Copies of this chain bind each other. A is one copy, B any other.
Amino acid sequence: MGAGIPAPAARVLIEAGRRMDARGWVPATAGNLSLRLGPGRIVITRSGVHKGFLTEDGLMLVDEAGAPADPGLRPSAETGLHCGIYRRFPEAGAVLHGHSVAATVLSRQAGAGIALAGYELLKAFPGLSTHRAAVQLPIFDNDQDIARLQQRVEALWALQPAPLPGYLIRGHGVYVWGRDMEEALLRLEALEFMLACELEERRVR
């Protein structure tokens, strides 16, 4: 259950889940959220619960390898993607996985990535101080073998000096992270806004 999870951390996750639900980004049991309390102490949502109606019982503690603090609890398979982010980026303090219509539809139609250029909101991402920036949001093919999917993510990161703090999984949604939950939510909103614009642009053309 929520044993060992500080109430303020639980509150942060519960509020973030409600926010995502209000936007329609966590339908059914889709999506997951996590927060790193300190080295080896990550609070993550359990699988099978609706993220818009989280309670402390829907949260559990794991370490960066994904091992649960309470051996009686089984973490969700996608915990592996959260942990991969925390291992690779020491500054990451919060990870969000959302499941929007725009991210799903665009990722099903696109190739290896989606180019985002000319948006003022690109400034929400590190190292992009102007709307003239252009980024390539990577898309990975969905895979029920999460370890294998994480290896493909790491293979791409190995090629990049400063990976973008976000990526898409085809037909599945977006992963995004930040130093804390506030920054992760800001980046999620910025990314979803640009994806919503991209979907509209593809319609109008």
Contact = CB atoms under 8 A, between A and B. Distances in A.
Interface of A: 23-24, 27-30, 50, 99, 101-102, 104-105, 108-109, 118-121, 124, 129-132, 142, 144, 169-173, 182, 185-187, 189-190, 192-193, 196-197, 199-204
Nearest to A122: B171
Contact of A199 (B30, B99, B121, B200): B200
Contact of A108 (B109, B193, B196, B201): B201
A193 B109 CA distance: 17
Q: Chain A interface mostly helix, strand, loop or mixed?
A: helix
Contacts of A199: 200, 204
A121 to B, nearest CB: 6
A61 to B, nearest CB: 25
A120 B30 contact: yes
Given A101-B196, A171-B118, A124 B28 contact: yes
